[in-house]
Structure formats: C-alpha cells, structure tokens
Structure 1
Amino acid sequence: MSSRGKVMVIGLDCAEPSLVFDRWLDQLPNIKRVLQSGVYARMRSSDPPITVPAWASMMTGKDPGQLGFYGFRNRNSYDYADVGVVDSFFLQEPAVWDVLGKHGYQSIVIGVPPTYPPKPIRGHLVSCFLTPDRSVPYTYPSSLAEEIEQEVGEYRFDVTHFRTKPTGELLKDIYEMTRIRFAVARYLIKHKPWDFFMMVEMGIDRIHHAFWHFMDEKHVLHEPSSYKDAIFEYYRYVDGQIGELLSCVSPETRIFIVSDHGAKRMDGGFCINEWLMREGFLKLKEPVRDATSFHPDLVDWKRTKAWGYGGYYGRLCLNVKGREPEGVIPKKKYEQVRNLLIKKLKALTDEQGRHLNTKVFKPTKRYAAIKNIPPDLIIYFGDLYWRSVGSIGMGKLYVYENDTGPDGANHDYEGIFISALNREGRGGKKLERIHLMDMAPTLLHQFGIPPLKGMRGKIIPI
C-alpha cells in the first residue's frame, strides 16, 4: 500500500470536548491544525461510557451487548462471587486491525484496550494498561519488547496508584508515561512497516480523575491550589507530542484524533447498596457498622432481592429464582421488580431534596444483542455527575469522596472526533450525530473494505 493510503488514529482516553473544542483549542496548535483542515464532532460514547467496552466498541463497530462485556468487571456466571476483569480474550469480535490483516495490510497498535494478553496480528502490537507489569509478555511479536526497552527505555502501561499517590509524584509519572508512549510510537512508525497505526494514551484520563477538582471552581472539593492549571498544561504537552508524531508521517496520511468518552466534575457518590438495604431489597446476615467493601459472604441471600456494584456507573443485579444460587424473585415477577426499581431510582433526590436526574436502562432495550451476563439494570446516577458507591456500612446514602480512593471526575457521554489529511487545508466543518461505533466502518472504508455484518456504526462523511 502506498503512503497515500496510510491511516493514523491517535486515541486520547477521556479527552473532553468542552476543553478541546471550546475552552483551549487556541492553545492546542497541533490539534487545532488538524481540526481546521478537516472535520470534527462530539462523538457519543458506548453505554456505559467506560474505557474497556468503549475502545472495543469503537474498534469493532459493535455495542457492549454484542461484545459481551459491560465494564472492567463482569459477571462470569450467576454465582454471586464470580466476577472477573476483562482482558483481550473476552474480545471475540474482530477489531479493525484483524480485518485489515486478512486483507494484507500491516498495523501498529499501541495501548488500545483490551489488548492484554497480546494476540497475534499482521504487524506489531504493544498491549494496554490492563497489563500487570513488564514481567509478562506484552508485545507481538514477543521480541518487540526487548527492542523497545533498548531503543526507548522502560515501558509504562499506566501510572501506578493513581488514586492515592502524592500529587506531585503522580503528575511526574503521568508525564513520563506519556513521553515514553509517544517515543515508542515514533520509533515504530519510523522502523516498522505499516498501513494502519493506532495508539491510546491514558494520561488524560488519569489526570482528569486526580486533578479535576483543582481546576473546576464548581467542584464540591475545590480549593485554591498550585495545581489549578495542571490539566491545561498537560493538554498542551500532549498537543506537542501529537505535533512531533504528525511530523513523522506524510501529508497524505489520514489522521484521526479521538477519545472514548469525556469527563465532567464528580458531585459525589450515591451508596447503591445502602439504598437497597433501606428500601428492603438487600439484607445482610449481620449489621455492618464501619465502611466495608461489598462482599457476597455478608449477604443473607434468602432474603435479598437485589444488590449493586460501585463504579462510574451503577450496575444493579437481581436475585432471581432458578438463576442465582439462592434466588428469591420468581421469574414471572422479574419485570415487575425491575420496573419498580427503575421508578424508585429515577425519583432519587440529592441531600437537599433536588431531583438527581438519574438515568436507568435495561440492557435488552439498549443493545442489538445480549452476550454473557449483563447487569439487570445500568444506572447513571445524577446523569453521570455522581458515581456509584458499592461499599456498605457507610451509614448514609451520599458521600463526597470516592470509596476506592480520591477521584475528582466522572466519565461523560461524549468524547472527541477530529479527522483530516496531515496537511494544511480548508475545513473545520462540524459534523452532527457521530457515534464511536461509526469509527470501525469508517476506518475500513479508508481501505476500500465494506462494514462487517453486525456492525452498528455508519461511515462518517470525512
């Protein structure tokens, strides 16, 4: 394939459109140049807007129901304790680079979730932030890891302890992770054959969660701080790294700059299991007086109808007779109980009695298909201004700090989409109604390959 057909996707996990498009665009010259040379849009994320299903959905054109995973952690079976973390083996649908490989095209893939453990591709791959550390195989081919370490240095998949590390040390680690990732990208672009390139940088997600409350004066935890411009300065640094990367490829390369979801301030956490206990849906064997992580061993399952999990969105599961080991809800009452919970959840208020504007949906109503075991209800507390807190023994429904470590931001529904050829041009056209599932068929279209059967996305007019 000639250089004319090369395609580059720069993924910025959690990049927020209100910051990129509205607030800081003039201070992001490299992103601005691409935007003004082509098209851009707010791009609707997956449901839920969570990193692993979102990137997978983007690269397959299929929704989380079709993929069969609904977040980082999913039920492996109907046993109460059988919850596992997603890895690359969960992704059974072909990603864009898999399809391209079958057509003879070479790919470079760096850090796109979920690519750990690394699977063979036609090209070169470095696995994602799910990789535990460098002691495990993290590249394809496996020899690539040693080459990267020799040429670039010690690779970093993520920042460790990003919720609890001292602020200054964390900020330094985020910059170092980003520097190394872009250095690897430039090295591979220059030294490996490729037709399609894609990378995902996790730093924006990490800095949002750790520093948003310093930036946002409306945040419940905001206070004057020397870190108030930390996010802005980091965006400028990433823009500079993008500029260096773009200087390595020809003007005929088609560029995409995208994010899997956006971000917004976190107003607090709603204690889902505390609420279920107060409403009579969840019973414990013994009272819990101190804040404790939810664990199935604490629950009196023979008297429990529902329980939930914490996270950026709420996952509520029903204890159904004949389905769960000690299920109590008759199958004929399943929808009745589910509808009652939806009504109660949508009526939730905050501590001041103001309507919380919580969104609730049934997976069967949102997805084209249902694989594996979804939650019975998916909940966006406070329209995603509130996270779900799964801990019990809190003694209250509302908290203003995350139960799993400090966190100032939640995920939002829309990420960014920008596309242009890598050269100056007249553009800057804003597109409407873009969904991240549109990316896979759009990328395949760049190579003259039609969308695969089952892809929900449409080809974006770029």
Structure 2
Amino acid sequence: MSSIEKNTNANGKLVVLGLDGLPLSLAKRLAASGRFPALARLTASATEMQAELPELSPVNWTSFYTAADPGEHGVYGFTRIHSRDYTMGLCNFEQPQHPTIFDRLAEKGLRTRSINLPNTYPARPIKGMLISGFVADELSQAVYPKFLLNMLGSDFLLEADTTTGATDPAFLLDQLRKTLTARKHAFSLLWKDGAWDLFIFVLTETDRLFHFLYDAVEEADHPWHKECLGLLEEWDALIGEFLDAYDTLPEPKRLMSLADHGFTRLITEVDVNALLRQMELFKTHLPPEACSELDPQQISAHCKAFALDPGRIYIHAASRFANGSVADSDVFALEQHITERLMSVTYNGQPVFKKIHKGRELYTGKMAQFAPNLVCESVAGFDLKAKFNRREPFGFFGRTGTHTVQDTFFYDSQNAQPQRVRDVGTEILRHFQLTER
C-alpha cells in the first residue's frame, strides 16, 4: 500500500450493517426481552434519525450511498415516468446522477465490498466487490466481478418471493430463512481476506417480515408470533456473527448500523390517485376497473394531477408532460388547492396527512427539476399508494405494517448523530478524510 493510501485510510476500516426497515422503538423492545443479544449490543447506544422523503428504500439507500439529497441523485421512488411517452420504469443503479461513496473511495485507492445494498442493480464495476440488493432480478447481472457467480452458486437466493408470501405466512418465513442463509454465505466469502476498507452488509428480512406480519411480531397471542420471533432470532444470530467478525479486526476501526426508515402498524392503505379522482383532477382514458394498476399511459389529457407511489404528486403541466394541459401560471394555485384538500382528509375521524411538502422546497440540486410537485407525508400508520385502477381511497391489501419517517434506527461506535440518512454517507466520507462535493 502506498503512503498516500495509508494516509487516507488513517482512521482504519469502516464496517456498515444495514438493518432495513428497523424502527428504533421496536429494536429496543426486542433487545429488552433478552432473546436478541446481538441486537442488544447495538441498541444500548442507538439513536433515532429521520428517513428521507419519500420514506422508501431506493430513495434512502441511494441517499446513503451518495451522501446526497434526492434532488442531487434523482431517485424519488421505486418508479419513474417518462414525460413524453408516459412509460414507467423501475429505478435502479443506472439512474443516480451523483458520485457514490464507492466512487469517492476509489479515487483514493480505497476498496469497498457491498452485499445486498438496495438500488445497486444491475451491478457495475467498483473498486472492490458488489452483490446487488433489491430490486435485483437476475443473479448474473447482480454481481461484480463476475467470478462471484461461481462462488455464490446457482441456488443463491437474491430476494424472497413476497408476492406468494403475502398470502402464505409459512412460505414467506421459509423464503426469509433462505435469504438469511444466502446473506450469510455471501458474508463469509467477501469478508475473510480483509482486502477492503469499507464493508457494507445489508439485511432486508425485517422489512419483508414487517410488511406482512408486523401484527404477528407485536402480538404475543397472534398465531404466527412464535414463528416470527424464531425467524428474528436467526436474524439476530447472523448479526452476532457479523459483530464477532468485527471484533476481530485490529484497531483503528469503526462500526455503523442503520435502517433506511422506521416501521409501524398499518391503519389503512390510502390511495392518493383515488383521492385526486374524487377531486376530479385525476382522469384516465378508461374507467378505473378497466385500467391497469401501474400503467401511466392510461393518464388522460384531461388529467390535471396524478400520483406515483407512494404519494408523489405531479401537476400535469403542458410544459413538462407531452399531454399535459395545465398552464405554468396555474401550477402554484393547483398545488395549494390539492394541499388544502388533502390536509382535510380523515379516516375514522383521524387526520391522514401530516404534511404536504412542495418538491421545490424539499429538494435541492441539479435533479430537483425532475422532482414531484408535491410529496405527501402521512400520519404514522397510513400507507400511501398511487394505483391507477382504484376508486376507493381506503383499503386493505394483505399488509399489516408500513414505513415511517421517524423512529429510524442508527448506531455508531464513534457516537455520530446524523439527522437524516444522507448524513450517514457524509460520515463515511469524513471517516476516510474525503470532503463533500
């Protein structure tokens, strides 16, 4: 190693444990039970931070690995829409328009190894090794370098089948055990030679479990409670192996652990497009029952506003969308009208929305021009959706838990206290004596 590399890595190795969707409050309750000793090691000095908005994995994990505002990296949700032909695509690793922390470390000759970090698919070359996280379809496109394919094996499971698991708890739990096994295998392969400076290991099983069985985790008399805690004990055992491996590293070293958002019990799903439809703002070529759930090509020229998951509202402006009909001079008034109407929405007497943010105020950076006009932040427990085929705004579709902005888990062996997820990426750059751009 050159003298420059030694100087830039003077603070030692940095290890990051991602615990997707883990709320701090639940983590503390689990740790206090005595059944999760590894988690208890972290919660003893864990603190709360805030998720980026919208509080989704691709937005937050991209903010983490770019150390940037979504207005800089350009990822605002799971999906993006083309303003000319109204096609929709999934956000992936090709989209972020800001240097990653892997890129920044590579400039200094420092090496990263990353396992299961969401929104890093398809895998691309980095100085180090990468196994992509959700949404990752094909194992052959989810690894770098390619020789990892043979090491992982053809039966390596990238992601649990939550489509089938949504209605079959036994199947879901079995799938999550298999992905834990896969994560453990990947960890054993990439960790052992120590030829890295930054190591990132993300466990997403909590997010999948909480979406469909959060009630079972919390309720001792739930028929699936015992099985869910059993899975979490296996999850905790893997965390324990990870922490034990960290303990063997020589000083100096640093450990961080974070969630990308919190979680809570579901009150109800809330479809924002259905609410806009009731306001006579969201219009499609066909009636809702004839529309596809996620096909924005169904948006009519008469539509004034539409939403993309979870609650990103776009004014259908003529200057922005090919078939848009709203004049720029009318945009601000329409934003205000929508905000006032949504803030008055209640469910069983309870307000649904905590705040409606203006995109131009929430985000800054070169990609802010592509941000939604409005970003809805719900009261905890209300799960925002934006389908194109629903008439009724409220409903239940198999989920029992939902994301939260607050109550987001964070731990640092050096006691940093970031305010938002992007700030964790900034702390990594500081650790390696790299200044922000």
Q: Is the 8 A contact 2:31 2:43 kept in 1?
A: no
Consecutive unaligned residues in structure 1, runs of 5 or more:
218-222, 422-428, 454-462
Residue 45 (str. 1) matches residue 46 (str. 2):
no
Query: Distance between the aligned counterparts of 1:51 and 1:24, measured in 2?
Result: 24
365-374 vs 284-293, which deviates more?
Answer: 284-293
C-alpha displacement at 1:290, in angstroms?
6.8
Question: Which of 327, 337, 343 does residue 340 from structure 2 map onto?
Answer: 343
Match of 2:101 in 1: 96
Q: Deviations over 1:227-273 (max 9, x none)?
A: 12444333332221111122224253321111111111111122322
What is the one-letter code of the residue matched to 2:229? F
Q: Distance in 1 between matches of 2:63 and 2:216?
A: 32
Select 1:124's aligned residue among 129, 136, 147: 129
Residue aligned with 1:328, SS? coil
Q: 1:456: which partner in 2? A: none
Q: 2:405 maps to what in 1? A: 413
Cα distance in structure 1, aligned partners of 2:198 and 2:299: 50
2:131, 2:144 within 8 Å by CA — same for their partners in 1? yes
Match of 1:445 in 2: 430
Name which of 22, 25, 28 aligns with 1:21: 28
SS, match of residue 247 in structure 1: helix
Any idea what the Cα deviations from partners look like across 1:52-81, whole Å, max 9, x if unmatched?
Answer: 110110122111111111011012x31362
1:345 and 1:358 in contact (8 A); partners too: no
Deviation sequence 1:334-379 (CA, Å, 0-9, x none): 10111111111111111x3333244211111111225162222111
Please name the residue that 2:270 is paired with: 270
Q: Could you state the TM-score of these two structures normalised by the residue count of structure 1? A: 0.84
Distance in 2 separating the partners of 1:169 and 1:362: 41
Listed as ranges, the matches of 1:380-459 within 5 Å are 380-383=377-380, 385-394=382-391, 396-399=392-395, 401-402=396-397, 406-414=398-406, 415-420=408-413, 434-447=419-432, 449-453=433-437
Counterparts of 1:67 and 1:180, CA distance in 2: 30
Alignment partners' CA distance in 1, 2:50 and 2:135? 24
| Matching of residues 166-181 of structure 1 within 5 Å | 166-181=168-183
Provide Cα deviations, 1:143-202, integer angstroms capped at 9, x if missing partner: 1221222xxx73221102345352101101101101220221122111351121101111
The answer as to whether partners of 2:363 and 2:371 remain within 8 angstroms in 1 is no
CA separation in 2, counterparts of 1:55 and 1:247? 25
**Structure 1 pair 288–82 and aligned structure 2 pair: CA distance change class (3 A):** closer
Seen in structure 2, the aligned counterparts of structure 1 residues 335 and 228 have a Cα distance that, compared at 3 Å, is: same
After superposition, where does 1:154-173 map in structure 2 within 5 Å? 154-162=155-163, 163-164=165-166, 166-173=168-175
Displacement of 1:287: 3.6
Equivalent residue, structure 2, for 1:360: 356
Moved more, 275-284 or 112-121: 275-284
State the match for 1:137 in structure 2. 141
What CA distance in whole angstroms lies between the structure 1 residues aligned with 2:287 and 2:151? 55
CA deviation digits over 1:270-321, x for unaligned, max 9? 23222222212123445445785254454432x2211223x4x312221112
What 5-or-longer segments of structure 2 have no aligned partner? 1-5
Q: Residue type of the partner of 1:256?
A: M
- The match for 2:304 is 305
Please name the residue that 2:232 is paired with. Answer: 235
Partner amino acid for 1:281? L
Question: After alignment, is 103-112 or 23-32 more displaced?
Answer: 23-32
Deviating more after overlay: 275-284 vs 104-113? 275-284
1:32 paired with 2:37, answer no
Aligned counterparts of 2:198 and 2:417: Cα–Cα separation in 1: 26
CA distance in 2, matches of 1:31, 1:439: 20
Tell me if the contact between 2:296 and 2:388 (Cα under 8 Å) persists in the aligned partners. no
Task: Work out which of the residue numbers 298, 315, 319 in structure 2 matches 1:318.
Answer: 315
The answer to whether the 8 A contact 1:363-1:370 is kept is no
* Contact 1:359–1:383 (Cα < 8 Å) also in 2: no
Amino acid at match of 2:108: H
Between the aligned residues of both structures, percent identity stands at 21
- Measured on the aligned residues, the alpha-carbon RMSD in Å equals 2.5
Q: Classify 1:385/1:216 alpha carbon distance in 2 versus 1 (closer, same or farther; 3 Å).
A: farther
Q: Report what 2:75 is aligned to.
A: 69
> Structure 1 residue aligned with 2:373, among 373, 376, 380?
376
Q: Which residue number corresponds to residue 107 of structure 1? A: 112
How many Å separate the matches in 2 of 1:321 and 1:362? 19
**Does the C-alpha gap of structure 1 residues 370 and 268 become closer, same or farther in structure 2, counting only changes over 3 Å?**
farther
Number of residues of Structure 1 aligned to a counterpart in Structure 2:
423
